[in-house]
Amino acid sequence: MSDETCIFCKIVQKEIPSKIIFENEDNMAFLDINPISEGHAIVIPKKHYNTLEDLPDDELSKLFQVVKKIAMLLHEKLNIDGYNVVQNNFKAAGQEINHSHVHIIPRTFGDMKIRLSLPKTSATNEELDRVLSKLKS
3-state SS class at 112? coil
Catalytic one of 40, 48, 99, 101 = 101
Structure confidence at residue 24 (pLDDT): 98
The pLDDT value given to residue 133: 95
CB 38 within 8 A of CB 78: yes
Active site residue 101: yes
Model pLDDT, residue 65: 98
Global pTM value: 0.92
7-112 CATH fold: HIT family, subunit A (3.30.428)
Q: What is the mean pLDDT of each run of 10 residues along the chain (137 residues)?
A: 88 97 98 97 98 97 98 97 97 96 97 85 94 95
> Do residues 6 and 48 make contact, with C-beta atoms less than 8 angstroms apart?
yes
> What is the predicted pLDDT for the residue at 4?
83
pLDDT attached to residue 35: 97
Residue ranges of the domains in the chain?
A: 7-112
The CA angle 93-40-28, to the nearest 5 degrees, is 85
Please state, as a whole number, how many other Cβ atoms lie within 10 Å of the Cβ of residue 82: 12
